[in-house]
Amino acid sequence: MRLLSRLGAHYRESFRGLPATTWLLCLAAFVNRAGAMVVPFLSLYLGERFGYSPGEAGRLLSLYGIGAVCGSLLGGRLADRLGPVRVQIATLSATAGWMLLLTQVAQPWLLAPAVFVLGLLNDAFRPGNITAVGSSCEPALRRRALALNRLALNAGWAIGPTVGGYLADVDFRWLFVADGATCGLAALLVWWFLRGWRPDVGTPAEAAARGVRHDHLFVAAMVCCTAYLLAFLQYFSTESRWLAAEFGYDKKTIGWLLAINPVMVVLFELPTVQALRGHRALPTVALGSLVTGLGFLLLVPPLGAAGVVLSMVVLTAGEILQMPQLGAWVHDRAPPHARGAYNGVYTGTFSLAFVLAPWLGGELYDAAGAAALWWTCGGLGALSAAGFLLLARREQAGR
Protein backbone atom coordinates (compact mmCIF):
# COMPACT_ATOMS: atom_id res chain seq x y z
CA MET A 1 0.00 0.00 0.00
CA ARG A 2 2.84 2.38 0.82
CA LEU A 3 4.35 1.76 -2.62
CA LEU A 4 1.02 2.45 -4.33
CA SER A 5 0.57 5.62 -2.28
CA ARG A 6 4.05 6.81 -3.22
CA LEU A 7 3.40 6.03 -6.89
CA GLY A 8 0.11 7.91 -6.73
CA ALA A 9 1.80 10.95 -5.19
CA HIS A 10 4.47 10.87 -7.88
CA TYR A 11 1.77 10.65 -10.55
CA ARG A 12 -0.11 13.65 -9.14
CA GLU A 13 3.14 15.62 -9.01
CA SER A 14 3.63 14.93 -12.70
CA PHE A 15 0.47 16.92 -13.51
CA ARG A 16 1.15 19.82 -11.16
CA GLY A 17 1.95 23.23 -12.64
CA LEU A 18 0.58 22.69 -16.14
CA PRO A 19 -1.55 25.68 -17.20
CA ALA A 20 -5.23 25.48 -18.09
CA THR A 21 -4.44 26.13 -21.77
CA THR A 22 -2.38 22.94 -21.91
CA TRP A 23 -5.22 20.93 -20.36
CA LEU A 24 -7.78 22.35 -22.80
CA LEU A 25 -5.62 21.53 -25.82
CA CYS A 26 -5.08 18.00 -24.54
CA LEU A 27 -8.82 17.66 -23.88
CA ALA A 28 -9.50 18.57 -27.52
CA ALA A 29 -6.96 15.96 -28.64
CA PHE A 30 -8.61 13.37 -26.39
CA VAL A 31 -12.10 14.09 -27.74
CA ASN A 32 -10.81 13.90 -31.30
CA ARG A 33 -8.97 10.60 -30.74
CA ALA A 34 -11.83 9.07 -28.71
CA GLY A 35 -13.89 9.28 -31.88
CA ALA A 36 -11.20 7.75 -34.12
CA MET A 37 -13.34 4.91 -35.40
CA VAL A 38 -13.18 5.07 -39.19
CA VAL A 39 -9.52 4.30 -39.89
CA PRO A 40 -9.26 1.14 -37.71
CA PHE A 41 -12.28 -0.36 -39.51
CA LEU A 42 -11.73 1.12 -42.97
CA SER A 43 -10.28 -2.05 -44.47
CA LEU A 44 -13.22 -4.10 -43.17
CA TYR A 45 -15.67 -1.46 -44.45
CA LEU A 46 -14.14 -1.53 -47.91
CA GLY A 47 -14.49 -5.31 -48.01
CA GLU A 48 -18.07 -5.53 -46.81
CA ARG A 49 -19.49 -2.46 -48.58
CA PHE A 50 -17.55 -2.52 -51.85
CA GLY A 51 -16.22 -6.09 -52.07
CA TYR A 52 -12.53 -5.14 -51.95
CA SER A 53 -9.98 -7.90 -51.34
CA PRO A 54 -7.44 -7.43 -48.51
CA GLY A 55 -4.78 -6.47 -51.06
CA GLU A 56 -7.04 -3.93 -52.78
CA ALA A 57 -8.07 -2.46 -49.42
CA GLY A 58 -4.42 -2.26 -48.37
CA ARG A 59 -3.50 -0.32 -51.50
CA LEU A 60 -6.34 2.10 -50.86
CA LEU A 61 -5.24 2.53 -47.24
CA SER A 62 -1.78 3.45 -48.51
CA LEU A 63 -3.46 6.46 -50.15
CA TYR A 64 -4.68 7.45 -46.69
CA GLY A 65 -1.08 7.30 -45.48
CA ILE A 66 0.16 9.42 -48.40
CA GLY A 67 -2.56 11.95 -47.67
CA ALA A 68 -1.52 11.92 -44.01
CA VAL A 69 2.09 12.72 -44.92
CA CYS A 70 0.94 15.64 -47.06
CA GLY A 71 -1.45 16.75 -44.33
CA SER A 72 1.27 16.76 -41.68
CA LEU A 73 3.55 18.94 -43.82
CA LEU A 74 0.74 21.25 -44.89
CA GLY A 75 -0.68 21.54 -41.38
CA GLY A 76 2.73 22.46 -40.01
CA ARG A 77 3.24 25.21 -42.58
CA LEU A 78 -0.24 26.60 -41.99
CA ALA A 79 0.28 26.56 -38.22
CA ASP A 80 3.25 28.92 -38.68
CA ARG A 81 1.33 31.24 -41.00
CA LEU A 82 -2.17 31.25 -39.52
CA GLY A 83 -1.48 30.15 -35.95
CA PRO A 84 -1.90 26.66 -34.50
CA VAL A 85 -5.28 27.41 -32.91
CA ARG A 86 -6.87 28.51 -36.19
CA VAL A 87 -5.44 25.50 -37.99
CA GLN A 88 -6.90 23.12 -35.40
CA ILE A 89 -10.35 24.70 -35.68
CA ALA A 90 -10.25 24.66 -39.48
CA THR A 91 -8.95 21.11 -39.90
CA LEU A 92 -11.23 19.60 -37.26
CA SER A 93 -14.26 21.34 -38.78
CA ALA A 94 -13.29 20.26 -42.29
CA THR A 95 -12.75 16.66 -41.14
CA ALA A 96 -16.17 16.64 -39.48
CA GLY A 97 -17.83 17.73 -42.70
CA TRP A 98 -15.81 15.31 -44.81
CA MET A 99 -16.75 12.37 -42.56
CA LEU A 100 -20.43 13.11 -43.12
CA LEU A 101 -19.89 13.37 -46.88
CA LEU A 102 -18.21 9.96 -46.88
CA THR A 103 -21.45 8.34 -45.74
CA GLN A 104 -22.85 9.26 -49.17
CA VAL A 105 -20.03 7.74 -51.24
CA ALA A 106 -21.54 4.88 -53.22
CA GLN A 107 -19.27 4.70 -56.27
CA PRO A 108 -15.94 2.82 -55.91
CA TRP A 109 -14.11 5.27 -58.19
CA LEU A 110 -14.72 8.02 -55.64
CA LEU A 111 -13.02 6.11 -52.83
CA ALA A 112 -9.40 6.80 -53.79
CA PRO A 113 -9.64 10.63 -53.72
CA ALA A 114 -12.00 10.47 -50.74
CA VAL A 115 -9.58 8.39 -48.64
CA PHE A 116 -6.63 10.56 -49.68
CA VAL A 117 -8.45 13.73 -48.57
CA LEU A 118 -9.45 12.04 -45.31
CA GLY A 119 -5.79 11.35 -44.52
CA LEU A 120 -4.87 14.91 -45.51
CA LEU A 121 -7.44 16.52 -43.22
CA ASN A 122 -7.01 14.11 -40.30
CA ASP A 123 -3.26 14.61 -39.99
CA ALA A 124 -3.23 18.34 -40.76
CA PHE A 125 -4.64 18.75 -37.23
CA ARG A 126 -1.68 17.13 -35.46
CA PRO A 127 1.14 19.67 -36.04
CA GLY A 128 -1.09 22.53 -34.90
CA ASN A 129 -2.11 20.66 -31.77
CA ILE A 130 1.45 19.63 -30.84
CA THR A 131 2.79 23.13 -31.59
CA ALA A 132 0.11 24.73 -29.43
CA VAL A 133 0.66 22.29 -26.55
CA GLY A 134 4.42 22.86 -26.61
CA SER A 135 3.92 26.63 -26.70
CA SER A 136 1.28 26.69 -23.96
CA CYS A 137 3.73 26.45 -21.06
CA GLU A 138 7.23 27.47 -20.05
CA PRO A 139 10.14 25.39 -21.42
CA ALA A 140 10.71 23.63 -18.08
CA LEU A 141 7.21 22.12 -18.30
CA ARG A 142 7.28 21.30 -22.02
CA ARG A 143 8.15 17.62 -21.75
CA ARG A 144 5.35 17.07 -19.27
CA ALA A 145 2.89 18.99 -21.45
CA LEU A 146 3.72 16.89 -24.49
CA ALA A 147 3.56 13.72 -22.38
CA LEU A 148 0.09 14.76 -21.19
CA ASN A 149 -0.89 15.22 -24.83
CA ARG A 150 0.30 11.68 -25.64
CA LEU A 151 -1.59 10.38 -22.60
CA ALA A 152 -4.76 12.06 -23.91
CA LEU A 153 -4.25 10.54 -27.36
CA ASN A 154 -3.62 7.04 -26.00
CA ALA A 155 -6.60 7.25 -23.64
CA GLY A 156 -8.80 8.34 -26.52
CA TRP A 157 -7.42 5.59 -28.74
CA ALA A 158 -8.46 3.03 -26.12
CA ILE A 159 -12.07 4.25 -26.47
CA GLY A 160 -12.56 4.93 -30.18
CA PRO A 161 -11.97 1.51 -31.77
CA THR A 162 -13.81 -0.24 -28.91
CA VAL A 163 -16.98 1.81 -29.36
CA GLY A 164 -16.52 1.65 -33.12
CA GLY A 165 -16.73 -2.12 -33.06
CA TYR A 166 -20.22 -1.96 -31.59
CA LEU A 167 -21.36 0.74 -34.04
CA ALA A 168 -20.00 -1.25 -36.98
CA ASP A 169 -22.23 -4.16 -35.99
CA VAL A 170 -25.24 -1.86 -36.39
CA ASP A 171 -24.22 0.07 -39.53
CA PHE A 172 -20.78 1.08 -40.77
CA ARG A 173 -22.06 4.56 -41.60
CA TRP A 174 -22.47 5.27 -37.90
CA LEU A 175 -18.66 5.16 -37.64
CA PHE A 176 -18.42 8.16 -39.95
CA VAL A 177 -21.17 10.01 -38.09
CA ALA A 178 -19.59 9.42 -34.66
CA ASP A 179 -16.07 10.22 -35.87
CA GLY A 180 -17.28 13.41 -37.53
CA ALA A 181 -19.27 14.41 -34.44
CA THR A 182 -16.23 14.13 -32.15
CA CYS A 183 -14.14 16.14 -34.64
CA GLY A 184 -16.82 18.82 -34.57
CA LEU A 185 -16.97 18.75 -30.76
CA ALA A 186 -13.18 19.09 -30.53
CA ALA A 187 -13.29 22.06 -32.94
CA LEU A 188 -16.00 23.67 -30.80
CA LEU A 189 -13.92 23.22 -27.64
CA VAL A 190 -10.86 24.86 -29.19
CA TRP A 191 -12.92 27.70 -30.68
CA TRP A 192 -14.90 28.40 -27.50
CA PHE A 193 -12.00 28.44 -25.04
CA LEU A 194 -8.91 29.30 -27.08
CA ARG A 195 -9.94 31.33 -30.12
CA GLY A 196 -8.34 34.48 -28.67
CA TRP A 197 -5.02 32.82 -27.74
CA ARG A 198 -2.13 32.92 -30.21
CA PRO A 199 1.32 31.58 -29.25
CA ASP A 200 4.43 33.57 -30.08
CA VAL A 201 5.51 32.77 -33.65
CA GLY A 202 8.51 35.07 -33.82
CA THR A 203 9.14 38.32 -35.67
CA PRO A 204 9.42 38.91 -39.42
CA ALA A 205 13.20 39.20 -39.00
CA GLU A 206 13.30 35.76 -37.38
CA ALA A 207 11.29 34.35 -40.27
CA ALA A 208 14.34 34.86 -42.49
CA ALA A 209 16.41 32.56 -40.26
CA ARG A 210 17.14 28.90 -40.96
CA GLY A 211 14.25 26.58 -41.62
CA VAL A 212 13.79 22.84 -41.66
CA ARG A 213 15.74 22.16 -44.85
CA HIS A 214 18.86 23.92 -43.56
CA ASP A 215 18.85 22.22 -40.16
CA HIS A 216 20.87 19.13 -41.04
CA LEU A 217 20.95 17.80 -37.48
CA PHE A 218 17.15 17.91 -37.30
CA VAL A 219 16.79 16.20 -40.69
CA ALA A 220 19.20 13.46 -39.57
CA ALA A 221 17.18 13.01 -36.36
CA MET A 222 14.01 12.53 -38.41
CA VAL A 223 15.76 9.85 -40.50
CA CYS A 224 16.67 8.06 -37.26
CA CYS A 225 13.08 8.48 -36.06
CA THR A 226 11.73 6.93 -39.26
CA ALA A 227 14.04 3.93 -38.84
CA TYR A 228 12.78 3.53 -35.27
CA LEU A 229 9.14 3.77 -36.33
CA LEU A 230 9.54 1.16 -39.07
CA ALA A 231 10.35 -1.26 -36.26
CA PHE A 232 7.98 0.06 -33.60
CA LEU A 233 4.87 0.03 -35.78
CA GLN A 234 5.26 -3.68 -36.44
CA TYR A 235 3.71 -4.33 -33.04
CA PHE A 236 0.18 -3.62 -34.26
CA SER A 237 0.57 -4.51 -37.94
CA THR A 238 2.60 -7.61 -38.83
CA GLU A 239 2.81 -8.83 -35.24
CA SER A 240 -0.98 -9.22 -35.16
CA ARG A 241 -0.78 -11.62 -38.10
CA TRP A 242 2.05 -13.52 -36.40
CA LEU A 243 0.13 -13.88 -33.14
CA ALA A 244 -2.82 -15.40 -35.00
CA ALA A 245 -0.64 -17.75 -37.08
CA GLU A 246 1.85 -18.75 -34.35
CA PHE A 247 -0.46 -19.08 -31.34
CA GLY A 248 -3.91 -19.29 -32.87
CA TYR A 249 -5.11 -16.26 -30.90
CA ASP A 250 -8.49 -14.81 -31.86
CA LYS A 251 -9.07 -11.10 -32.45
CA LYS A 252 -10.22 -10.44 -28.87
CA THR A 253 -7.08 -12.00 -27.38
CA ILE A 254 -4.84 -10.06 -29.78
CA GLY A 255 -6.73 -6.89 -28.86
CA TRP A 256 -6.07 -7.45 -25.16
CA LEU A 257 -2.36 -8.05 -25.83
CA LEU A 258 -2.08 -4.90 -27.93
CA ALA A 259 -3.88 -2.95 -25.17
CA ILE A 260 -0.83 -3.42 -22.93
CA ASN A 261 0.83 -0.60 -24.86
CA PRO A 262 -1.70 2.25 -24.37
CA VAL A 263 -2.41 1.19 -20.77
CA MET A 264 1.29 1.36 -19.88
CA VAL A 265 1.64 4.72 -21.63
CA VAL A 266 -1.29 6.16 -19.68
CA LEU A 267 -0.01 4.83 -16.34
CA PHE A 268 3.73 5.38 -16.56
CA GLU A 269 4.72 7.94 -19.18
CA LEU A 270 4.09 11.15 -17.25
CA PRO A 271 5.86 9.96 -14.07
CA THR A 272 8.80 8.80 -16.21
CA VAL A 273 9.03 12.16 -17.95
CA GLN A 274 8.92 13.89 -14.56
CA ALA A 275 11.71 11.66 -13.23
CA LEU A 276 13.90 12.35 -16.29
CA ARG A 277 13.29 16.10 -16.44
CA GLY A 278 16.94 16.94 -15.70
CA HIS A 279 18.41 14.71 -18.43
CA ARG A 280 19.30 15.68 -21.99
CA ALA A 281 16.73 14.56 -24.53
CA LEU A 282 18.69 12.83 -27.30
CA PRO A 283 20.65 10.36 -25.12
CA THR A 284 17.34 9.31 -23.52
CA VAL A 285 15.81 8.98 -27.00
CA ALA A 286 18.72 6.73 -27.98
CA LEU A 287 18.17 4.54 -24.91
CA GLY A 288 14.46 4.26 -25.69
CA SER A 289 15.19 3.22 -29.28
CA LEU A 290 17.55 0.50 -28.09
CA VAL A 291 15.07 -0.79 -25.49
CA THR A 292 12.30 -1.00 -28.10
CA GLY A 293 14.60 -3.03 -30.36
CA LEU A 294 15.35 -5.39 -27.47
CA GLY A 295 11.61 -5.81 -26.95
CA PHE A 296 11.26 -7.27 -30.44
CA LEU A 297 14.23 -9.57 -29.93
CA LEU A 298 12.37 -11.16 -27.02
CA LEU A 299 10.01 -12.63 -29.62
CA VAL A 300 12.81 -14.68 -31.20
CA PRO A 301 13.27 -17.38 -28.51
CA PRO A 302 10.31 -19.76 -27.98
CA LEU A 303 8.98 -18.17 -24.79
CA GLY A 304 5.30 -18.58 -25.65
CA ALA A 305 2.62 -16.22 -24.33
CA ALA A 306 4.89 -15.02 -21.51
CA GLY A 307 7.43 -13.91 -24.10
CA VAL A 308 4.78 -11.98 -26.01
CA VAL A 309 3.66 -10.13 -22.88
CA LEU A 310 7.26 -9.43 -21.82
CA SER A 311 8.09 -8.19 -25.31
CA MET A 312 5.14 -5.79 -25.28
CA VAL A 313 6.12 -4.45 -21.86
CA VAL A 314 9.76 -3.88 -22.89
CA LEU A 315 9.04 -2.25 -26.26
CA THR A 316 6.46 0.02 -24.61
CA ALA A 317 9.05 1.00 -21.99
CA GLY A 318 11.28 2.00 -24.91
CA GLU A 319 8.47 4.08 -26.41
CA ILE A 320 7.92 5.84 -23.07
CA LEU A 321 11.60 6.78 -22.99
CA GLN A 322 11.77 7.75 -26.65
CA MET A 323 8.70 9.56 -27.94
CA PRO A 324 7.92 12.31 -25.38
CA GLN A 325 11.60 13.24 -25.17
CA LEU A 326 11.96 13.45 -28.95
CA GLY A 327 8.76 15.46 -29.30
CA ALA A 328 10.00 17.99 -26.74
CA TRP A 329 13.42 18.12 -28.43
CA VAL A 330 11.79 18.93 -31.79
CA HIS A 331 9.81 21.80 -30.25
CA ASP A 332 12.88 23.14 -28.41
CA ARG A 333 15.03 22.82 -31.53
CA ALA A 334 12.63 24.74 -33.77
CA PRO A 335 12.90 28.53 -34.07
CA PRO A 336 9.66 30.29 -33.03
CA HIS A 337 8.64 31.11 -36.61
CA ALA A 338 8.98 27.47 -37.78
CA ARG A 339 7.66 25.38 -34.90
CA GLY A 340 4.69 24.26 -36.95
CA ALA A 341 6.91 23.22 -39.87
CA TYR A 342 9.23 21.27 -37.58
CA ASN A 343 6.31 19.52 -35.89
CA GLY A 344 4.78 18.89 -39.30
CA VAL A 345 7.90 17.04 -40.43
CA TYR A 346 8.03 15.16 -37.13
CA THR A 347 4.42 13.99 -37.33
CA GLY A 348 4.98 13.31 -41.02
CA THR A 349 7.53 10.63 -40.10
CA PHE A 350 4.72 8.76 -38.32
CA SER A 351 2.49 9.04 -41.36
CA LEU A 352 5.28 7.85 -43.66
CA ALA A 353 6.00 4.91 -41.38
CA PHE A 354 2.27 4.13 -41.33
CA VAL A 355 2.52 3.61 -45.10
CA LEU A 356 5.83 1.72 -45.17
CA ALA A 357 5.93 -0.37 -41.99
CA PRO A 358 3.01 -2.75 -42.68
CA TRP A 359 4.11 -3.23 -46.28
CA LEU A 360 7.82 -3.82 -45.62
CA GLY A 361 7.20 -5.86 -42.50
CA GLY A 362 4.64 -8.03 -44.24
CA GLU A 363 6.94 -8.63 -47.22
CA LEU A 364 9.85 -9.64 -44.97
CA TYR A 365 7.60 -11.88 -42.85
CA ASP A 366 6.22 -13.65 -45.91
CA ALA A 367 9.64 -14.06 -47.56
CA ALA A 368 11.93 -14.93 -44.63
CA GLY A 369 9.76 -15.70 -41.62
CA ALA A 370 9.01 -14.07 -38.28
CA ALA A 371 12.50 -14.51 -36.78
CA ALA A 372 14.05 -12.49 -39.62
CA LEU A 373 11.51 -9.71 -39.01
CA TRP A 374 12.19 -9.56 -35.26
CA TRP A 375 15.97 -9.53 -35.79
CA THR A 376 15.51 -6.72 -38.31
CA CYS A 377 13.39 -4.74 -35.83
CA GLY A 378 16.07 -5.22 -33.18
CA GLY A 379 18.68 -4.04 -35.65
CA LEU A 380 16.66 -0.95 -36.57
CA GLY A 381 16.32 -0.13 -32.87
CA ALA A 382 20.09 -0.41 -32.38
CA LEU A 383 20.82 1.53 -35.59
CA SER A 384 18.52 4.40 -34.65
CA ALA A 385 19.96 4.42 -31.10
CA ALA A 386 23.48 4.76 -32.52
CA GLY A 387 22.30 7.56 -34.79
CA PHE A 388 20.67 9.49 -31.94
CA LEU A 389 23.80 9.11 -29.79
CA LEU A 390 25.96 10.48 -32.61
CA LEU A 391 23.57 13.41 -33.05
CA ALA A 392 23.62 14.04 -29.28
CA ARG A 393 27.41 14.40 -29.43
CA ARG A 394 27.19 16.72 -32.43
CA GLU A 395 24.57 18.82 -30.65
CA GLN A 396 26.69 19.07 -27.51
CA ALA A 397 29.68 20.11 -29.63
CA GLY A 398 27.54 22.82 -31.23
CA ARG A 399 27.70 21.42 -34.75
Give the domain 18-196 fold: Growth Hormone; Chain: A; (1.20.1250)
pLDDT of residue 301: 84
Name the segment(s) of the chain with CATH classification 1.20.1250.20: 18-196, 212-399
When pLDDT is cut at 50, 70 and 90, the band that residue 210 belongs to is low
Maximum mean pLDDT: which of 32-36, 114-118, 250-254, 271-275? 114-118
Q: Looking at residues 140-161, what average pLDDT do you find? A: 85
Q: pLDDT class for 207, splitting at 50, 70, 90?
A: very low
**What is the fold of 212-399?**
Growth Hormone; Chain: A; (1.20.1250)
Share of the chain above pLDDT 90, in %: 45
Report the chain's mean pLDDT, rounded to a whole number.
87
Mapping DSSP onto H, E and C, the string for the chain reads: CHHHHHHHHHHHHHHCCCCHHHHHHHHHHHHHHHCCCHHHHHHHHHHHHHCCCHHHHHHHHHHHHHHHHHHHHHHHHHHHHHCHHHHHHHHHHHHHHHHHHHCCCCCHHHHHHHHHHHHHHHHHHHHHHHHHHHHCCCHHHHHHHHHHHHHHHHHHHHHHHHHHHHHHHHCCHHHHHHHHHHHHHHHHHHHHHHCCCCCCCCCCCHHHCCCHHHCHHHHHHHHHHHHHHHHHHHHHCHHHHHHHHHHCCCHHHHHHHHCHHHHHHHHHHHHHHHHCCCCCHHHHHHHHHHHHHHHHHCCCCCCHHHHHHHHHHHHHHHHHHHHHHHHHHHHHHCCHHHHHHHHHHHHHHHHHHHHHHHHHHHHHHHHHCHHHHHHHHHHHHHHHHHHHHHHHHHHHCCC
Please write the tens of the pLDDT for every residue from 163-174: 887 887 788 888
Give the per-residue pLDDT at 6. Answer: 66
Write out pLDDT tens, residues 47-84. Answer: 888 887 766 777 787 888 899 999 999 999 999 999 99
Predicted pLDDT at 204: 43
pLDDT of 208 reads: 42
Enter the pTM of the model: 0.86
pLDDT at 2 (0 to 100):
65
280-302 pLDDT per residue, tens: 999 999 999 999 999 999 999 87
What's residue 209's pLDDT?
53
Q: Which residue has the higher pLDDT, 56 or 325?
A: 325
Return the pLDDT at 252: 72
In tens, the pLDDT along 234-275 reads 887 788 778 888 888 776 787 778 778 888 888 888 888 888
The whole-number pLDDT of residue 7 equals 61
Is 80 exceeded by the pLDDT of residue 44?
Answer: no
Q: What percent of the chain has pLDDT over 70?
A: 93
pLDDT in tens, 10-27: 667 767 788 999 999 999
